[in-house]
Structure 1
Amino acid sequence: MRAMILCLIALSACGRMSQVGKAPDFSPLQDSYQYNALYSTPLPDSAAQNTPAVTSSLWTGGRTALLSDRRAERRGDILTVVIEIDEKAEMSNTSDRSRAGSDTMKIPDLLGLPQRLEGKISGDASLGSAVDTSSTHKYAGDGSTKRNEKLELRVAATVVEELPNGVLRIEGQQEVRVNYELRELVVSGYVRPADITRQNEVTYDKIAGARISYGGRGQITDVQQPRYGQQIADIVLPF
């Protein structure tokens, strides 16, 4: 029995053992509904195909036009991602449950057995009231959750791919080293060209499948992280 319990504990810990000393992984976007929708080929725009290009005009709609906006629109272009997160969440739940029950079973006459056993039962016991049970259950629970997050950052990202439907896939990474600590900011996701402002910026809430990571590595981070032995003990120990 003890060996079986140890095996169950080991099996439950195997799934988390690979995360020891590592940050949690992002959920993969490949093979998801969002991924397939973004990579699907859009229907042809007949109106745009029948419109002749006016090359002599100052406004051609292209990125090199004199009066056009310098917005990222193709692979290799750079844009600024504005991250301003100020979110608060609060949830509370209260539950109360009670139950009471009572059962009584009497055998006053059963083939004469109560009369025959009446004198043989010690004390004042009697089969007139053979079984008498009662039970009471009461449960009360109260829980609450509060979370507050605030983050203000700006990072330059590069368009790494143009999808068939016009959506742009962006990736950006920023690293700043101060003494022996390295701060890292990574952002990736999918952006519509229409959501890019005239200042060549896009806010994080308009990035589909956004993956934003802000952290660091170095001496300070190493001191703040629990040792590997403590992480393994927290995973393996059931109590």
Structure 2
Amino acid sequence: MIKKSKLLVFASLASLALLLAACGSGGGAEGGSPSSGDSKVLKMGTSADFPPFESRNEKGEEIGFDIDLAKHVAEELGYKLEISDMKFDGLIGALQTGRVDMVLSGMSATDERKKSVDFSTEYNRSGEFFVTEKDSDIQSIEDLNGKTVGVQLGTIQEDGAKRLKENEGLDFEVKSLDNSVMLIQELKTGRIDAAYMDKSVAVGHVKEQDLGGFDDPTTSSPGMAIAFPKGGDLVEDVNKVLAEMEKDGTLQELKDKWLSDQE
């Protein structure tokens, strides 16, 4: 009886050991790790304060033209999209340090930025706009003399304001702020006299806040594009997706959805 009991205990222990070994060897592969081929993650950087390209809804979710575009690109390439919201002037740094794989944030593909990052083909071109109070006496760029013009940090409008002062001989103060919402707040409280912004974004604020403004007649800025780290391997694949979206009308559908009211 003693020998039989020992055999039963030994058999039970052996069975348990085999079971644990099977769980240990098969569990990781069966469940799929974050680095597995079935769970590829595409990390996108954006600054969600730039409607209609990117902003947050009442639930705190990122929405907008760039968000929908990124979701489509990720789906077409077989990635799960992961969005990181940060200040606009920190986006290129995030690319360079590998914190994100791409940036969609209404970013214009300027020659200066091309020294630091690679860009996809352009997906939108808006132009620049000066937002003012509706009854403002600022009706042209010449009227900016002696005034304070607000711009967003790190944008082409920040550079453009300096260009206007140098090339057009204008004399105004430039005030740089973190985002477009702050620019409108500063305008409405009289801390700045005009806000210099991307036109698609500006027109939305004009309609919502009952403001005024006018186009910058001197601008010839480049269009918006997706930014990648220098020498990255995603640019060609993303360009193929953008070309297909242009061809099948998907890109125009996104413009109709998000930008049609901004014209």
Q: TM-score range by the shorter chain?
A: under 0.3
- TM-score normalized by the length of structure 2: 0.20
TM-score by length of 1: 0.22
Larger helix share, 1 or 2? 2
